[in-house]
Amino acid sequence: MTRILLQNIKVPIDSHEEAAIQAAKQKLKREGITPTKLSLAKKSVDARKRNAIVFICSVMAEIDSTPSESQLAALSAVAMEKSRYEPVIGSKPLVHPPVVVGFGPAGMFSALALAERGYAPIVLERGGSIAEREKDVAMFYRDKILSCDSNIQFGAGGAGTFSDGKLVTRKNDPLCAYVLEKLCEFGAPEEILVNAKPHIGTDLLKQVVASIAQRIESLGGNIMYHTRAEAFCERSDGILVKTQNGEIMAGAVILAIGHSARDTYAYLNKTNHTLQPKAFSVGVRIEHLAEDIDRAMYGKFADKLPHAEYTLSYREGERGVYSFCMCPGGTVVAATSEEEAVVTNGMSVHARNGKNSNAALAVSVLPEDYGNDPMQAIAFQRKLERAAYREALAKGGAPYAAPMVTVGDFLSDKVGSAPTKVKPTYMESGFVVPADLNAVLPPFVSSMLKKGIGQFGKKIAGFDSHDALLTAVETRTSAPLRILRNENGESLSMKRLYPCGEGAGYAGGITSAALDGLKIAAHLMAAYRPAYE
């Protein structure tokens, strides 16, 4: 049996998936091929011509024959291999179980892969379980009491748990399909296997994370919440991991700490681990009415389609400004993990049924902007977060209120206009205060944001509307440094230590972090067989 993917099948937006399947069937018939099974594989909206919007579909066909290259070309098809994850198991035994530090997407998928193959990993997560995180975030929103270890950044599932659960990635890797299939196995909606821009939604993603945690523990793994790794000491038979709750001996350590583990970064830097500064981005959250973005992008078809999504970018030389983590029908969330600091992010539930759509507008920060030093990169982020906190207080806001400005005021260098048409959603209740973002952001960031908003208004009508809102500050778009590793995934500075995922600087987003977790787990398994086997 051969599987081929027929691509670029256009169907009207008011048609059902059967229309794409029938179109694929007719194409195959013209080539003399009779499929044994046809199924919709991908679907996306093509809105380049606003008055002629269509779905672009891909259909998976299972056939008994092997098509020729000319047949594949005529069908606009490619041969497909089934997604597989089959790591090689090494011969050298681990004397102690592997330890995974962090339970975000990278740590979660590496721990799951290890558990499913008999390695019984120990997971150290500084934050709480899903249920505990929900209580901690609710307490912060209600009482403004922040838990620095259990919040929107830290805890089961990592920062992605309290976001949109977007699964889009630029990586063209067969394991991407494996990641999506695994997520479905644990409760994600099967539509993520089809949609070109798949997302799960915060409400459903929480359940998926909890289910994966249960599976790991049912297979002999041990997830230790509220356990922050504080030091790593190399030993002849592994690594001694020191935590605030005691010491744990690890046969090997997968370091999947996430992009906000600043104390771990500082420890690694102090103990001469090889860290490399890298570019990252900072900016703001922009909010519009979802219906306005829908109408601008879809015109008369706006009521027939899900909320519109956009991806925008503008570049001048090495500096760029771009949209990031777009949340249709979503809200702006308070994502700080440090006291007296303001950090924003975006969140949507699966239904994406909120009144506003929001996205980060982020500007490139280059290593030379902060002195080419990893610790200065963190200092750069922290300075903006604290400036946002202070600016809101100075303008009469309460602790942890976010500074906000209308797009009209921002573009004309004014301050003070209250929200009108678009109501802010930060901290659910619009916990913002009109303020001067020029007092928060570096001049090069403010300048590029203004240029970007002007350019984006030419692409999406009303994007630069004076009543759209900007809320500051977005600083946790990615890790500001990389923890260097070799071709086998092992740290350049310590044997048996495997830097992994977004926090190590090798991923950006849920899917790519999960991919890196799988690959690093495969490196570990290729070197060692399970302890006590």
Which residue in this structure is represented by tokens 């230590």? 497
238 φ, ψ to 5°? 155, -150
- The pLDDT value recorded for residue 109 is 98
Length of the chain (residues): 533
- pLDDT tens, residue by residue, 425-463: 999 989 999 999 999 999 999 999 999 999 999 999 999
Asked if 279 contacts 365 with a C-beta cutoff of 8 angstroms, the reply is yes
- Written as one string, the DSSP assignment of 342-375 is --EEEE--TT---SEEEEEEEEEE-GGGTTS-HH
The pLDDT of residue 288: 98
CA distance 526 to 504: 21
Q: Is 254 exposed, middle or buried (0-12, 13-18, 19+ CB in 10 A)?
A: buried
Given this model, what pLDDT does residue 533 score?
A: 54
Cβ(254)–Cβ(524) below 8 Å = yes
Q: Environment class of residue 88 by beta-carbon count within 10 Å: exposed (0-12), middle (13-18) or buried (19+)? A: exposed
Domain ranges in the chain?
Answer: 2-80, 92-276+481-529, 279-474
pLDDT in tens, 189-238: 989 988 888 899 999 999 999 999 999 999 999 999 999 999 999 999 99
Q: Give the mean pLDDT of the chain.
A: 95
pTM: 0.94
pLDDT at 167: 86
Q: Provide DSSP, 98-115.
A: -EEE--SHHHHHHHHHHH
* Res 16: pLDDT: 83
Residue-wise pLDDT tens digits, 487-526: 999 999 999 999 999 999 999 999 999 999 999 999 999 9
> What span, in angstroms and rounded, lies between the C-alpha atoms of 220 and 222?
7
> Residue 41 is encoded by which pair of tokens?
């594989």
Mean pLDDT in residue range 169-182 = 85
In this predicted structure, the answer to whether residue 171 has a pLDDT above a threshold of 80 is no
Q: What is the CATH number of domain 92-276+481-529?
A: 3.50.50.60
Percentage helix, strand, coil for the chain under 3-state DSSP, each rounded to 5:
35, 25, 40
Mean pLDDT of 27-40: 94
Query: For 151-163, what is the mean pLDDT?
Result: 93
Q: pLDDT per residue over 101-136, tens digit each?
A: 999 999 999 999 999 999 999 999 999 999 999 999
Q: What percent of the chain has pLDDT over 90?
A: 88
Q: Is the pLDDT of residue 250 over 90?
A: yes
Tell me which amino acid residue 508 is: G
The C-alpha atoms of residue 96 and residue 455 are separated, in whole angstroms, by 56
d(CA 494, CA 481): 18
Of 92, 65, 72, 76, nearest in space to 2 by CA: 65
pLDDT surpasses 90 at 532: no
Say if CB 506 and CB 500 are below 8 A apart.
Answer: yes
Four-point Cα dihedral 208, 211, 216, 220, nearest 10: 180
Which tokens go with 352? Answer: 């994406």
Q: Mark 189-215 as b/e (b = at least 16 C-beta within 10 Å).
A: beebbbbebbbbbbebbbebbbbbbeb
346-359: pLDDT as tens digits: 999 999 999 999 99
Class of domain 2-80: alpha beta
Q: Is the preceding omega at residue 415 within 30 degrees of 0, hence cis?
A: no
What confidence score (pLDDT) does residue 351 get? 93
d(CA 362, CA 320): 8
Q: Over 221-281, what HEC string results?
A: CEEEECCCEEEEEEECCEEEEEECCEEEEECCEEECCCCCCHHHHHHHHHCCCCEEECCEE
Residue 15 pLDDT? 85
CA distance from start to end of the chain: 37
How high is the pLDDT of residue 197?
Answer: 87
* Separation CA 125–CA 456 (nearest Å): 40
